[in-house]
Amino acid sequence: MSAVVDPDRARGEQKRLPLLAADDFARAFSWREGRETSAGEFLADVFALAERLPDARHVLNLCEQRYDFLVAFCAAIVVGQTNLLPVARAPQAIDDVLRAYPGAYALGDTKPALPANLRYVHVPDAIGGSGDAFFSNLSIPADHVVAIGFTSGSTGTPKANMKTWGSVCASSALNAGALAAVADAPHILATVPPQHMYGLELSVLLPLRSRAAIHASQPLFPAEIASALAELPAPRILVTTPFHLRTLLDSGVALPQIAGIVTATAPLSSELAAETEKRYATQVLELFGSTETCVIAQRRTANDEAWTLYDGVETQPQPDGTLVTAPYFIEPTLLQDIVELLPGRRFRLRGRNNDLLEIAGKRASLGDLTRRLLAIPGVVDGVIFQLDEEACGGVRRLAALAVAPERSEADILAALRASVDPVFLPRPLRLVAALPRNATGKLPRAELLAALKR
């Protein structure tokens, strides 16, 4: 395997960490199309793909199937490359990344619309041919930047965030510890894409850095989720979002026994958490984090409003947010979240800096206003957000999108007037068939603004 090089040789002696934390190469690593793939078979696929990678510094990892993504992710880092994880596969999102990282090529399993001059390697063509298994591990320099993730764009332009192998290994150990309270060596099904940092942490890094195994698919519809879970042996863990969780409950679909459900990307209400635990006889663990920090805290939302910080993570309230530090961070990170510190390394969220509003000398929060919108009978989904100053003559007025098939815009505004100060009433308020949520249930700001104009 002449093309596969150990990056340590070029960097001299330094701290290194193995690609797979568990040296049990016969263990189940992935489940796909009803077949178990061992850790040794996975390594064989990684090395087979690594042999075919072009010489480059950055690679766009566009794989949709989770196993292909994992193989591509690891093949890139074992030859010293960095995975670029765009927020979407749309041409504009890909073009934005390529402008920032010229010289990159792409790895994929379902070729999207790509620039004609972009080098592309089709992952399924390069793996799975021999059926051999490798029984040796490989070390990765702790300071190697293995991935660059991008914020979702829900508050503006996506921003790049570098992740070193040492930092993701440290945070993965903390995630594994949190899930160990739910199940030992779990089999994981995730509804979130691996390119998103939450999906990367729980369905890509976790099987690399613990004894967890993953299902290769990314089911979205309730029946698909139930079917995929049934293909996994116990103990099962479902990794999802509050939006997908609500859809699952409303469908009434039956699920096989699951040891736990993990959720993130948006606030989870205690009512939804409790309903889920009762319906599926399980426990729901909510994780708190960001693209910048990865997961830093957890809570069992049905029982507790407060969050518990991961070991080693420290928070310090600031006038414009919260400063977060940890031994494995590249640098301290300022989050826009406003927190109230509690004893025992716990905290309560009090909103986000960009969520707080002041209009005509009165104060409110976008989160609270959205909750009031969603509480109106007949409103299935909705959001209230601020318009740009340029569109409002220097005053950042509010707008809203609502999914309410049996209500009119006038009905909803009238209901809001009963609980919202008139200065915070959204104008315009538009009824839509569905909110423009992405694969993790988030609402990119650009899509919200576009939906207002349709």
- The full set of domain ranges for the chain reads 8-304, 360-453
DSSP sequence for 162-204: EEEHHHHHHHHHHHHHHHHTT-SS-EEEE-S-TTSHHHHIIII
Answer yes or no: pTM beyond 0.85: no
Position 209 scores a pLDDT of: 94
Query: 252-257: which pairs have CB atoms within 8 A and are 24 or more residues apart?
Result: 253/222, 253/223, 253/225, 253/226, 254/226, 255/225, 255/226, 255/229, 255/280, 256/226, 256/229, 256/230, 257/281
Strand 381-386 with 398-403, pairing = antiparallel
Do the domains at 8-304 and 360-453 have one common CATH topology?
no
Sign of CA dihedral 212, 217, 219, 225: negative
Q: How large a percentage of the chain has pLDDT more than 70?
A: 91
The whole-number pLDDT of residue 8 equals: 42
Question: Can you identify the CATH homologous superfamily of domain 360-453?
Answer: ANL, C-terminal domain (3.30.300.30)
Query: Of 341, 274, 353, which Cα lies nearest the Cα of 306?
Result: 341
* Token digits of residue 3: 């093309």
What integer pLDDT is reported at residue 71 of this predicted model? 96
Amino acid sitting at position 245 = L
**pLDDT tens per residue across all 454 residues of the chain:** 334 444 444 444 569 999 999 778 999 999 988 889 999 999 999 999 999 999 999 999 999 999 999 999 999 999 999 999 987 777 878 888 999 999 999 999 987 778 888 999 999 998 876 567 777 888 999 999 999 998 765 555 668 899 999 999 999 999 999 999 899 899 999 999 998 899 999 999 999 999 999 999 999 899 999 999 999 999 999 999 988 898 899 999 999 999 999 999 888 889 999 999 999 999 999 999 998 999 999 999 999 999 999 999 999 998 888 999 999 998 899 998 889 999 999 999 887 766 777 665 566 778 888 888 988 999 988 999 888 755 444 456 899 999 999 999 999 999 998 888 888 889 899 999 999 888 777 888 888 888 888 7
**18, β-bridge pairs:** 139
pLDDT for the residue 116: 84
For the stretch 83-123, pLDDT in tens is 999 877 778 788 889 999 999 999 999 877 788 889 999 99
pLDDT at 263: 96
Write down the pLDDT at residue 336. 85
For residue 360, what pLDDT is reported?
56
Give the CA angle between residues 325, 331, 337 to the nearest 5°: 50
Q: What is the pLDDT, as a whole number, of residue 401?
A: 93
CATH of 8-304, one of 3.40.50.1110, 3.20.20.105, 3.40.50.12780, 3.40.50.2000: 3.40.50.12780
Helix (H) or strand (E) run with residue 250 in it: helix 242-251
First to last CA, the chain: 54
d(CA 454, CA 447): 11
pLDDT of residue 2: 33
> Quick check: 260 and 179 in contact, CB under 8 A?
yes
* pLDDT score of 1: 36
Q: What is the pLDDT of residue 10?
A: 40
